[in-house]
């Protein structure tokens, strides 16, 4: 994870190296079990595929994010997962289900509680 942020900042989300970094981070998370790094790792991998217009893969990762967020019952993670899934569906032309997910994510937003998300 420590390599992903500077790599993306200097080269972009779409470079193969970014995908490799987040794929390796996911492997490490899987080896260690569910950790606090699992959600940001999957989100980084989703951003890689989304930027490369590989929206079916991004959708699959968004669905994983949603399952993880639901298991943790974390409103910030749920918000991000719904928005990620909604965006993935939208870009694949699944407008109605995409809108539903985007609305579900937006409904979870609470400014005082989620203010930090505006800057991430």
Question: Mean pLDDT across the stretch 8-13?
Answer: 92
What pLDDT is stored for residue 120 in this prediction? 55
Q: Which residue has the higher pLDDT, 113 or 76?
A: 76
Q: Tell me, letter by letter, the H, E, C secondary structure of the chain.
A: CCCHHHHHHHCCCCCHHHHHHHHHHHHHHHHHCCCCCHHHHHHHHHHHHHHCCCHHHHHHHHHHHHHHHHHHCCHHHHHHHHHHHHHHHHHCCCHHHHHHHHHHHHHHCCHHHHHHHHHC
């Amino acid at each position: 994870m420590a390599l992903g942020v500077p790599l993306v900042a200097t080269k972009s989300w779409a470079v193969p190296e970014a995908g490799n970094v987040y794929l390796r981070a996911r492997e490490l998370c899987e080896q260690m079990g569910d950790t606090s790094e699992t959600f940001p790792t999957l989100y980084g991998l989703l951003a890689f595929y989304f930027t490369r217009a590989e929206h079916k893969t991004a959708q699959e990762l968004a669905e994983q994010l949603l399952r993880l967020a639901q298991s943790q019952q974390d409103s910030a993670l749920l918000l991000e997962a719904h928005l990620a899934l909604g965006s993935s569906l939208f870009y694949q032309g699944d407008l109605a289900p995409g809108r539903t997910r985007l609305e579900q994510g937006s409904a979870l937003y609470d400014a005082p509680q989620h203010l930090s998300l505006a800057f991430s």
